[in-house]
């Protein structure tokens, strides 16, 4: 097997692994308040859109099959019939950003090493440079990933709403 075919297989496998979190996150919204406890828990931060289209953000204080309360002491209580949508922003793993940064940093260092290396004596320093820049790239990638807020996913959609 030649090295180009091996490299293509490795790249295809890496791309497939990066898509797995996106597939796992794609869930249909629940259509009943009875099912909300399968997706949400007390303390989660959510955005509630009421029947008039107003959106309120807050932490869940209580959750039942017919109502939910955001904030302490009943500051915002919504009956099930008043809610048209509930959205939540899921926390994103920094792993994918770190892996992308690692690949970019190590890849660029590897290209530089191949272009500058003059013989087999240069393998030691080249490995150290690739490791160092791979780690720097992983740190930068994780930082960029942490700075990007993910989309708000629809957890609940009331009857008759789009």
Burial label, 153 (beta-carbon count in 10 A; 0-12, 13-18, 19+): middle
Reported pTM: 0.55
- 76, containing H or E segment: strand 76-79
Q: What is the pLDDT of residues 36-72, one digit of tens each?
A: 888 888 888 888 988 888 888 888 888 888 888 888 6
Q: How many domains does the chain have?
A: 2
Give per-residue pLDDT as tens, 122-152: 677 888 888 999 999 999 999 988 888 777 7
Nearest to 14 by CA among 148, 106, 135: 106
In this structure, are 79 and 38 located in the same domain?
A: yes
**In 3D, which of 68, 65, 66, 35 has the Cα closest to residue 49?**
68
Query: Do residues 35 and 84 both lie within one domain?
Result: yes
Q: Above 50 in pLDDT, residue 23?
A: no
What is the C-alpha separation between 43 and 67, in angstroms, rounded? Answer: 15
Mean pLDDT, range 13-17, rounded to an integer: 58
Which domain, by its residues, includes 113? 93-147
Residue 158 inside a domain? The answer is no
Residue 12 lies in a domain: no
Residues 127, 103 share a domain:
yes
Q: How far apart are CA 52 and CA 159, in angstroms?
A: 14
pLDDT score for 156: 84
């Amino acid at each position: 097997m030649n090295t180009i075919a091996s490299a293509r297989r490795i790249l295809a496998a890496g791309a497939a692994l990066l898509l797995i979190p996106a597939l796992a996150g794609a869930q249909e919204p629940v259509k009943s308040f009875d099912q909300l406890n399968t997706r949400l828990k007390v303390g989660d931060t959510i955005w509630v859109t009421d029947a008039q289209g107003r959106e309120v953000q807050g932490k869940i204080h209580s959750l039942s099959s017919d109502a939910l309360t955001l904030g302490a002491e009943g500051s915002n209580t919504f009956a099930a019939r008043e809610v048209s949508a509930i959205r939540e922003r899921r926390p994103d793993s920094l792993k994918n950003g770190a892996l992308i940064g690692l690949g970019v940093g190590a890849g660029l260092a590897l290209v530089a090493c191949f272009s500058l290396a003059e013989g087999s004596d240069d393998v030691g320093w080249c490995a150290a440079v690739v490791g160092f820049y791979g780690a720097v790239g992983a740190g930068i990638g994780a930082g960029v990933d942490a700075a990007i807020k993910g989309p708000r996913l629809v957890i609940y959609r009331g009857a008759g709403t789009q």
